[in-house]
Amino acid sequence: MHRFLEHTADAFLEAKARAFPAAVRDAMEGTFGLIGKGKKEEESFGISVSSDELPGLVVRLLEKLVVECELRKISPVRVEVLEADEEKKKVRAKIYGEKKVPKNIIKAVTYHMLEVKREKAHWIIRVLFDI
C-alpha cells in the first residue's frame, strides 16, 4: 500500500508493508504515479543499487528509477522486485513500461523528511519528491 501525505509543497509519499521488499515495491509504484504511469508493457530495464544505509538505498533506488525512465523515455507500468535485502542494503528490480516520454518531471528525490524504518509489524518508507 502507498499513499500521498499532505505537504505544503512537492509530493510526500508513504509506502507501508509487512515486508521490506513489498515496501520497496510500493514506494516504486507510488513514484510511477508521480512520473506518469504508462498503460502497456512494451519495454523493460533493470535497476540495481546498494548503499551503506537504508535511507540512502531508498533515495538511490528512486533516483535511478526517475533518471532511467526519463533517459529511456519510458512511462512505467509495473515493477518486479528481484531482490530487496535490508541487511545487505541492496535492491535489484525490473521495470516494465510503455515507450512514451514520462508525463511529469521529478526534479529530485530528497533526504528532507526521509524515513525508512520498521515499526511493529510493518516497514514504512516516507520520501519527499521535489516536483
| Domains (range + CATH), the chain | 2-20+36-130 (3.55.10.10)
pLDDT in tens, 10-67: 889 999 999 999 999 999 999 999 999 999 999 999 999 999 999 999 999 999 999 9
Cβ-proximal residues to 73 (8 Å cutoff; 6+ apart), any chain: 99, 100, 101, 102
Between CA 100 and CA 61 the distance in angstroms is 21
| Reported pTM | 0.91
β pairing state of 11-17 and 74-85? unpaired
Helix, strand, or coil (residue 56) = helix
